[in-house]
Structure 1
């Protein structure tokens, strides 16, 4: 059985390659036809540009990844597919049109309960949940989400609809700012300070904005990952005077204080509940075809302005 998979050949080029699939290599093998996958632009851009720190090569590996971070590499981690007997599942898997995976790596869901397009956001919403747990945000908090890419906009929507806190968003792209107002979000006000700020901008200026606009003894939750790119911050102002906390949030493990209550499975079950009750599909503003992935990443490498919240791939 053959499949088409998306590979980065080096930091300048990507292509779709044909490869052979083998049932014998995988226990409890399930064959799936990919219907959609989601692009995590922040991380996948770092991978495509070869900006992964050498000492994180092992930790950054994802299920069914091909090659390595020194190229070539097959990378991606949010795919929705359908089995031959019409079961739908989310799988952490690179962009590929046919896959064979271990049954235990699949999170099966009902198409009647969750739109498969929205289900592409399972992985991003797990990141969102971890950030909410890390921050301990509560309904009475005034919150800022800085940066509205895929994780940022999902985070803002979840805090607003699930937690019930007051949410402001910070976005520099004028097109996205207008869309955010249409979705009912309040744009940040420079004279405000916030109880908790979340930086999801993947930009040091975004993190600095959070530092400069967080209340005394407030928390700044850093979700951005910079790879091997340095970050320059000005900490000589109010950072020490206000006793601010910069706290990392990352999806690959459950926060310690939640481990007795949640596992990776129950975290996914919480995501399923969110997908059933909150409209996230409205933020999927760009859909490209699988064959268009090489061109799309050519544009990403050239830093083409991104006016979309979430981009998914259709197969």
Structure 2
């Protein structure tokens, strides 16, 4: 067993579970019985950091997670998010204090808990000063409804402004072999401020799994369809990089997804990946990646095979990119 890592002053396993896939965004989700069994399997494997959000399934994911994990509430770190939810079936970013308060109370009910351990602002609403949204979150801490505050997809500058209002316990941003944006500034800033860095999509939205050979086979409602890296024009070039990584993973005696997670864990002790999946075998493999003994040389080679500089295509379509605050590499 590899050592635990610290999140919100709590020891957790190095790899947590992003629960979004069970309700949202990647085609047809499993039915409730299968999803509940899946979360039970995660607990049995030893997962103790679970991440959900108001947005996922427009509340359905929190309801699912609450139902499945209530018996284990004292044994897990439970994270959720506010500031982005469903209004009349559409995704809406709203960081107004009254919205944050309302969404937190709704989340508590759905999650069947008295307090949320880590509560993120899912997106910074650029119409609202970050200090106002942080003020609302800090009041939730005072009310005992949340224990700690997190931010998602923010820049180092925004993080610093927010942290001046109330300590930020964690920043959650996409980070993987093919998405290195955190390395520009926010990874270092979290270190300076003593915040954890929670890496979502550490398996590159399933790309590192090696199963998806043709994005045209994705469901119409799969969020990867409009992402430039998965386009018919760009994906074949990215697959060629993945094939090289597969050869390296075979040398290391692991899967490409495990190699990607192990690479992330090696970047800093304060990084905690939260891969999501609906596949029980992948659930076990992802968790086990923290216990693999992969040489520094192999990990370095992995980082050279796939990186921001040779990946083809932006990580988000232009409209989505405009909604986030993370630093971007120069084109």
Shared topology, TM-score over 0.5? no
Bigger radius of gyration, 1 or 2? 1
Q: Which has the larger helix fraction? A: 2
Q: Which has the larger strand fraction? A: 1
TM-score, normalising length: structure 2? 0.28
